[in-house]
Amino acid sequence: MRPEHWLYTIPLRLRSLLRSAQQDQELDDELRDHVERKTQEYVAQGMAQAEARRRARLDLGGIEQTKERCRDARRVNWIQDFVQDLHYGVRTLRKSLGFTAIAVLTLALGIGANTAIFSVVNAIYLSPLPYPNASKIYVVSRIGNQYGGESISPAIFAAWREQQAGAFEHLALLHWAGAATLTGFGDPLQVPTLGISVDFLAMLGVHPALGRDFAPEEGAAGGPNVVMLGNSLWRMQFGADPNVVGRSITLDDKPYTIIAVLPAGFEDPSFSSPHAQLWFPVRIPATTTDVGNGGLLCLGMLKRDVSIAQAEASLTLSLSALRDKYPKMFMPGERAHLIPLRQLLNAWAGTAPLLLFGAVGLVLLIACANVASLTLARSATRQREMAVRRAMGAGRERIVRQLLTESVLLAVLGGAIGVAACYASFQFIIAVVPKDLTHVGAYQIDAAVLGFAFALSIVTGIVFGLVPALGTSRVDLNNSLKESRAQSGAGHSGRMRSALASGELAISLVLIVGAALALESFARLTGVNPGFDSSNVLTFSVQLTTARYASPVSRAAFLDQALARLSALPGTEEAATISILPLTGGADILFSLVGGNGSVPPGEPLAANIRVVSPDYFHALRIPLVRGRVFTASDNSAGPPVVVIDETMAKKFWPGKDPVGQEIWIGKPMGPEHADPTPRQIIGVVGDVRESSLAENGGQTMFIPYAQTKFNNFASFIVRTRHPPMLSLPDARSTLRSLDANLPLLGPETMDSVVADSLSGWRFHAILLGAFGALALLIAAIGVYGVISYSVAQRTHEIGVRMTLGAQRGDVMRLVIGQGALLAGVGILVGVGAAFGLTRLMASMLYGVKPTDPLTFSAVAVLLTLSALLACYIPTQRAMHVDPMVALKYE
Amino acid sequence: MSKPSDLVQGTLDMLLLKILALEPMNGFAVSQRLKQVSGDVLQVSDGSLYPALHKLEQEGWITAEWKTSEYGRRAKYYSLTRLGRRQLEKEADNWGRLSSATSRVIKLKEA
């Protein structure tokens, strides 16, 4: 039928369905009108009134019968058929509760797991960015430089902004500004912040929920202290006070005026972790000479008729101009690069969640195969029912439709249970997701997730129902009706079911290989020596940004005092500080070799990680000294400037030589703002520590004492304790409070949990893939069991005959096991081939093991073979104990 | 009285569409018109007429409207839709081919 026709008839049919009472009334009126006219006509022909009326009614062939036939003409068939099928389906499923329970449970597992993973995938990749102009926003960065990553320096931004008139509608800036201390609300509170250029919100198309946007003069150097509140901070700390705009708050001891509250959800996209709750105007003087990587992210919106290539070309010109000015800070091939904002956020999230989504999709595929197999087995016993229906006039298409209704009903039931289970365990599921995984929306079961689950259920029902339905509807009427036992079609559906079981084994092999590789990576990582001893260590941090800590000396004095008091606590063995804890990331800085080293000339910019520590740091974390000495208390502002480096750095820059006594100048290539005032002498070499993660050989790190640098405003304490570390926390807290009641103690945890957290992504992959693999194996084993045991039941008679003819139990066993082995063999071969092709996709999720690790592959193949044989065990036993007499009589 | 089942399948539909193509009318008038134009040869019982009209309406080929009739009563008037007109053309076309083929067969001279 033409679509146009549907356009007409669908409303008509809906009307028939929904307005049947009115339709009946109209039908009644119409027929009564007819009878009256007809009566008048007969009267006009000379008939008596009563006789005329009788004739008129007679002509109509009985008013009620005619009405019924008119209603028939209007009946909306497919909807009524569907309701009928639904009733029938519910009845059939209730009659075979065992089948229904297994099928629904299998599907619930599959659909529930998919829904859970989808809620994560949705939050990461699909949720729209909460900015009206999001699709027009590009991340503007440079490539070909020595830093990598997207962040740029203030000088680059200043140069680009001058260029902006040509290509950009807006060129805005985001600054990872760290945290601010909010006081005046009971305990001092550390709040994550972001700096934004004053046109940032306008570019995104976002308007504050309360108050106003930043004014241009607020972005100028020396502008007023103004701040915007994130929605959740406003709710939690300010009780969602509608009059908060205009109030003054104290941040880092300075008064700030609240000018706006940002809309809910604005902070969801994780530009920073943890999410920012305070937004300041970022102030870049046009005359800046800071070319170091300033932790700035540049975002731009192109003018309407400017292409990406044009914009990149014009900004690359500015970079070349900067290179002329700072030849050491820019590489010759460096150029500007634009990528859509969304692409950057997706890149931050990586592809692992998508791979997990693919894996959980395979689990559902196995579940589908299993239920299809069950349905096929069941359909063999329903051949007679179908034959009767065909004989009574049901078309094939009609039977397929009815069977599909049943399978979709099963799937929707399974889906509902799956979603309910997902909902019930959602907090648990989310707890496994690594906290720092970049996501754009919130993790939640929203309309999109529910819609996905529903659509998935329908598709699932059709996928596993279609093949059995087509098979069942193709019945041979004569044979089916004549046959006493439901056996016809068993050959066809038997082969089909064996193929399905092999397929299930193949897919589960892929999943289990993936799981095994992920688990192995995880196991290897937990075995990696981080380079320090994390046991019995408590850690917590402070940020020294208030007026009291305005000078580097005051900060060092505070740290000295704090360390002295913490060391004196009864439970403390040792106490130390470091600017950034091991395993939590790097902070690259440029330096140069004062004397060169033969191959690297003096002054050449080189990059290394930097950590600011207290003298006892190495000893407190049990980091071994390789050569020279570590810091002492006399390495302070009065002493000569010194630095300790790690082995990797020593080997890289002084291969085969002793670096102790050499001089380096930290920050020198980055301009005066970042540079040390004088070079430092290397006094010692320590063992390598995994600085950014267990998977990366962190190395190439320099350590400087906090008493000898101005970059000492953030410190993480390391307290080695004599008892379980958390027991020391209350004492540590009161110690800090006694020194400064307004200083918040941040992120207390044990060093062991820092190590564990650094593995959270790996753990996430291993747990999920492991769970999917186990689920797949279980379902596939049930599938194999189902096929073999059904086949044994079908062949009871044959087995009886064979035994009568002299077959031994061993022969029977070989017969059944042979069938299972064939099935498993095919599945495993196909699975190994598929896994070989697919596991390379997860290369980035692996550590210390190749995607095609032969040992893993063979171990998994053996595991699957054993599982398949185990699944054959019960049916084999049953076959071996067939009593020939009973089997033969039964027929 | 000939029943609609005596008519070639679909012929009644075509006749009704044709009659309504001339002018909108109510069910009673349709039955009168059928009798008039076919010279009482094609008699369609009133009991078959109404289900047939309702079916055509359901297909979207004709549409119904309640109007006040010349007798001052509310009556249901049927008229042809654009879709119905197309359907009529199609059926008339088929019918033309069928009847000319049939008459050619009938006119074959017996050998």
Q: Domain spans of chain B?
A: 4-106
- List, in order, residues 6 or more apart from A488 with CB less than 8 Å away: A380, A383, A475, A476, A479, A480
Stretch among A2-11, A110-119, B50-59 having the lowest mean pLDDT = A2-11
Q: How far apart are the first and last CA of chain B?
A: 36
CB A584 within 8 A of CB A758: yes
Distance from CA of A83 to the nearest CA of B (A): 20
Q: Is B22 in CB contact (< 8 Å) with chain A?
A: no
Give contacts of A26 with chain B, Cβ < 8 Å. 66, 76
- Locus of tokens 């065992």: A98
Distance from CA of B2 to the nearest CA of A (A): 13
pLDDT in tens, A249-278: 988 878 999 999 999 888 777 776 667 889
Mean pLDDT on A179-196: 80
Type of residue found at A404: L
What pLDDT score does A620 carry? 93
Distance from CA of A24 to the nearest CA of B (A): 12
What pLDDT score does A390 carry? 73
Stretch among A479-483, A493-497, B35-39, B90-94 having the lowest mean pLDDT = A479-483
CB within 8 Å: A9 and B27: no
Mean pLDDT on A590-596: 84
Tell me the percentage of chain A whose pLDDT exceeds 90.
29
CB A495 within 8 A of CB A822: no
| A381, pLDDT greater than 70 | yes
- Locus of tokens 């009529």: B88
Best of A4, A8, A10 to substitute, by most chain B Cβ atoms within 10 angstroms, is A8
Highest mean pLDDT among A319-333, A567-581, A865-879: A567-581
HEC readout, A146-182: CCCCCCECHHHHHHHHHHHHHHEEEEEEEEEEEEEEE
pLDDT in tens, B59-86: 888 888 888 766 667 788 898 888 889 8
What pLDDT score does A786 carry? 84
* Residue whose C-alpha is closest to residue B91's, from B15, B20, B35: B15
pLDDT in tens, A18-33: 666 777 788 888 888 8
- Identify the residue with better confidence: A177 or A631: A631
CA distance A80 to A61: 27
What pLDDT score does A161 carry? 83
CB within 8 Å: A61 and B46: yes
Mean pLDDT on A34-44: 87
pLDDT in tens, A638-655: 899 999 999 999 998 898
| A575, pLDDT greater than 80 | yes
| A493, pLDDT greater than 80 | no
CB A607 within 8 A of CB A684: no
What is the distance of C-alpha A43 from the center of its chain?
83
- The two tokens of residue A245 are 């705009």
Give contacts of B58 with chain A, Cβ < 8 Å. 9, 12-13, 16, 73-74
Q: Residue A15: closest CA among chain B residues belongs to which residue?
A: B58
Q: How confident is the model at residue A5 (pLDDT cuts 50, 70, 90)?
A: low
Distance from CA of A440 to the nearest CA of B (A): 49
For domain B4-106, give the CATH number: 1.10.10.10
| A392, pLDDT greater than 70 | no
Strands A210-211 and A714-721: unpaired
Q: How confident is the model at residue B9 (pLDDT cuts 50, 70, 90)?
A: low
| A449, pLDDT greater than 60 | yes
Q: Tell me how far CA of residue A8 lies from CA of A174, A596, B62, B63, in angstroms.
A: 55, 86, 11, 10
pLDDT in tens, A683-707: 999 999 998 888 887 668 999 999 9
What pLDDT score does A457 carry? 92
Give contacts of B90 with chain A, Cβ < 8 Å. none
| A564, pLDDT greater than 70 | yes
CA angle A113, A119, A123 (to 5 degrees): 150
CA distance A213 to A631: 49
CA distance A365 to A506: 11
pLDDT in tens, A135-165: 889 998 888 766 667 888 888 888 888 876 6
Q: Is B75 in CB contact (< 8 Å) with chain A?
A: yes
CA distance A796 to A801: 9
Q: How confident is the model at residue A13 (pLDDT cuts 50, 70, 90)?
A: low
Reported as half-sphere exposure (CB side, CA atoms, 13 A), residue A319 has a value of 23
CA distance A35 to B31: 12
Complex-level ipTM: 0.83
Could you give the residue ranges of the DSSP H alpha helices within A527-624? 552-568, 617-620
What pLDDT score does B43 carry? 67
CA distance A23 to A29: 10
Mean pLDDT on A76-105: 80
- Identify the residue with better confidence: B7 or A738: A738
What pLDDT score does A141 carry? 86
| A327, pLDDT greater than 90 | no
* Mean pLDDT over the full length of chain A: 85
What pLDDT score does A444 carry? 87
Mean pLDDT on A118-132: 89
Identify any residues that bridge with A249 across adjacent strands, giving them in sequence order. Answer: A256
Q: Residue A61: closest CA among chain B residues belongs to which residue?
A: B47
| A78, pLDDT greater than 70 | no
Mean pLDDT on A208-219: 90
Q: Domain spans of chain A?
A: 3-75, 145-333, 352-526+761-890, 547-741
Distance from CA of B102 to the nearest CA of A (A): 29
What pLDDT score does B3 carry? 41
| A83, pLDDT greater than 90 | no
